Amino acid sequence: MTVRTRFAPSPTGYLHIGSVWSALFGWMYAQRHGGQFLLRVEDTDTKRTVEGAMENMMDSLRWFGISWDEGPDVGGEYGPYIQTERRELYQKWANWLVEHGHAYKCFATPEELKEMREAGVEGGYDRRYRDYPADKVAELEAQGKPFVIRYKMPLEGETVVEDMIRGEVVFKNSQTTDFVLLKSNGLPTYHLAHPVDDHFMKITHVTRGVEWLNTAPLHVNIFKSFGWELPQYAHLPVILSPSGKGKLSKRDQAFMDSGETVLVRADEYMHAGYLPEAVDNFLANVGWTFGDDIEKFTIEEAIARFDLADISPTPMKLPYSKLDWLNGQYIQEMNNVELAKALRPYLEAEGWEVNTDALLLVVEAMKPRMKTFPDAIPFLRFLFEESEFTETAESLSHKQLPIENAKAAYQETHDFVANAQPFDVATISNGIGEIAVKHTLNAKVGPFLGKLRQGMTGQSVSPPVYESMVAMGRERCLTRLDKIITLFT
């Protein structure tokens, strides 16, 4: 059997990070077994469809590295892959179910349904049209009465849903209702579209949220009514909000206990300074474990071990703090050219004109301090903005660098910087290192270099002083040193 999995989002808004998680697991399973992964757009809820949402979803998935073998933009043997373009297929099979006694036409009006719900009818519908006489049905149709097509769920016995994560789940048929399959506008509900599409697209494994488990008996019975082979279901656990109360909502902003907002939209991760491989690693750790107490791994390494059956059914929260740690680890592994290129858009968004050569001088030193790319902004502010000079002679001296020693050291540094050739890190480090040894008590260079960096950058945290000075350029360094020397006169 060739494994074929799919991701079938609805373009009613942005892509939720939980949906990316579901798509990732379906894609990984197909990759593990050398199968195919499909993208199918379930756009039959036309009233809620958002313009541009489908394109946003596809862009987001590609950023995460999730590719599809068949889909709206790449085509495939079993298309079209947009449900509103498959309308006639759903109508054909809905009518087939009616003709073979598995479904029926329901003429209940919105007012009638409201009365049933207010009366507390189980499932909100009392099946009044389930066994309506054929001549009465024909009469209502002739009058042009709108109708939907509902499935005839078994009234007795049990339906067993085989789930790869949860095992056998047994449902009493008496506790279900006759769900709508085809709406009065001729478009299907999910309950009809998913079995029809999964059958004709030859889907073998379905990953979806556990919220669909309660209606899985309907889907199982529909497949049986058609005489089609069931796909294997894997109902993924709920991702909880950071508070642990309720699921991580698609429509409501979530917050940590600290009040900090958390990222819910997939496209937020694209712009928040995360690397896609880090977010994939983060998501793969949710509900599934790599084993051997290993938390950092490539997605290719995960695919080699991945099995849907190993996913935990327990609801869980996204460990956002672990994402920051992982992202920091991946940043440290970037080469300096890649990191400088990644940082550039964030720095330019501050209105700064970026000199790549200067940036390359300092990125290596920044890596251990960065969790996300925007972390570089306060670290590098001195390169692009001239900070207010608020230092004093006392703040730029030290118990091992007394005032008089400091005065001489800063003056010699000024003279050296003015004439250093070439003006590079090696030359600067050798010359200033000698000055530090000469003027600091006990020949310790640390006190002077720390105070020099503070005076040059105006920041308590910045890259090492030599790299910072070369990145700033000779003229800016001399201007800053002039201000420092003035403090000691």
Closest by CA position to 392, among listed 446, 451, 444, 447: 451
Q: Is 192 left (phi over 0), alpha (psi -120 to 50) or beta?
A: alpha
- Contact (CB, 8 A) for 340 and 360: yes
DSSP 388: -
250, 296, 317, 367: the active-site residue: 250
DSSP calls for 34-96:
T-EEEE-B----GGG--TTHHHHHHHHHHHTT---SBBTTTB-TT---BGGGGHHHHHHHHHH
Q: Can you tell me the distance from the alpha carbon of 179 to that of 127, in angstroms, rounded to the nearest whole number?
A: 10
Q: Can you tell me the distance from the alpha carbon of 398 to that of 178, in angstroms, rounded to the nearest whole number?
A: 82
CB atoms within 10 A of CB 408: 14
> What single letter denotes the amino acid at residue 63?
W
HSE-up (13 A, CA, CB side) for residue 85: 9
- According to DSSP, the residues that pair with 105 across neighbouring strands are 149
CB neighbours of 316 closer than 8 A, spacing ≥ 6?
237, 238, 239, 240, 286, 287
b/e 32-67 (16+ beta carbons within 10 angstroms → b): bbebbbbbbbbbbeeeebeeebbebbbebbebbebe
Task: Kindly list the distances between the CA atom of residue 90 and the CA atoms of 145, 181, 311, in Å, as whole numbers in the listed order.
Answer: 21, 9, 33
- Contact (CB, 8 A) for 406 and 488: yes
Tokens read off for 443: 């020949």
CB neighbours of 269 closer than 8 A, spacing ≥ 6?
17, 63, 263, 276, 279
Cis upstream peptide for 80 (omega within 30°): yes
CB atoms within 10 A of CB 22: 20
- Contact (CB, 8 A) for 54 and 41: yes
Task: State yes or no: is 367 an active-site residue.
Answer: no
DSSP calls for 423-466:
-SHHHHHHHHHHHHHHHSGGG-SHHHHHHHHHHHH--SS-S-HH
> What SS3 class is residue 183?
coil
Residues with catalytic function: 250
